[in-house]
């Protein structure tokens, strides 16, 4: 490979540009938010030209939506697809989030964008609806008297714990898990636990 075929760090040009752009977006959007991150900064961190960035993503809005899709494309499959856990245990496992977890990227993007029609806002909304649906399905499997209500309660509790963790810079998921256990046990008849 000649020097002309190499990019800024000696990497081959064009190879892996999309991944570098997505990795840069994960870093920068988490650190400073989607609004404060400019395309020039993203390109600099990803070591790509603006032309290359726009070849992979039509605009920044499309990149933000793809950034969100990368986080959890299968909607908490690490919790809800586990066959080694009972449905009740899966409901509670959703709250096993490290204390260092930052604000949920879906909440963060939706709050910053202020536009319910923005592609990332729509994706965040769809994701949150999908999480509630997975919680509802697990609640139904566990025998909850009102699985829809329990699913929504647990989804709200998860989002609240994520936001509170970010605002007070201290983990709230342990407290949320204790509240979730009470909600789950009150919703599921003792004979089904």
Predicted structure pTM score: 0.83
Q: How many Å apart are CA 179 and CA 91, to the nearest integer?
A: 12
Q: How many Å apart are CA 147 and CA 108, to the nearest integer?
A: 28
Please say if the pLDDT value at position 155 is more than 50: yes
pLDDT in tens, 59-107: 999 999 999 999 888 889 989 999 999 999 999 999 998 766 667 899 9
Q: How many Å apart are CA 50 and CA 164, to the nearest integer?
A: 36
Q: How many Å apart are CA 130 and CA 84, to the nearest integer?
A: 22
Closest CA to 151 of 140, 161, 162: 140
User: Under a CB-based contact definition with an 8 Å cutoff, are residues 21 and 46 in contact?
Assistant: yes
Please say if the pLDDT value at position 6 is more than 50: no
Please say if the pLDDT value at position 38 is more than 90: yes
Mean pLDDT of the chain: 89
């Amino acid at each position: 490979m000649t020097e002309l075929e190499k990019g800024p760090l000696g990497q081959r040009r064009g190879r892996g540009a999309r991944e570098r752009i997505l990795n840069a977006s994960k870093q920068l959007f988490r650190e400073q938010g989607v609004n404060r991150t400019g395309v020039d900064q993203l390109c600099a961190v990803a070591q790509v030209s603006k032309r290359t960035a726009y070849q992979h993503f039509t605009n920044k809005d499309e990149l933000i939506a793809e950034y969100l899709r990368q986080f959890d494309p299968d909607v908490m499959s690490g919790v809800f697809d586990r066959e080694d856990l009972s449905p009740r245990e899966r409901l509670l496992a959703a709250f096993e989030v490290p204390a260092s977890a930052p604000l949920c990227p879906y909440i963060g993007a939706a709050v910053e964008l202020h536009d319910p029609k923005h592609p990332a806002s729509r994706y965040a909304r769809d994701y949150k609806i999908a999480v509630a649906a997975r919680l509802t399905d697990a609640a139904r499997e566990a025998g909850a008297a009102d699985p829809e209500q329990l699913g929504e309660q647990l989804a709200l509790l998860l989002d609240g714990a994520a936001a509170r963790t970010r605002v007070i810079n201290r983990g709230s998921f342990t407290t949320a898990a204790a509240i979730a256990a009470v909600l789950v046990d009150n919703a599921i008849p003792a004979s089904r636990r």
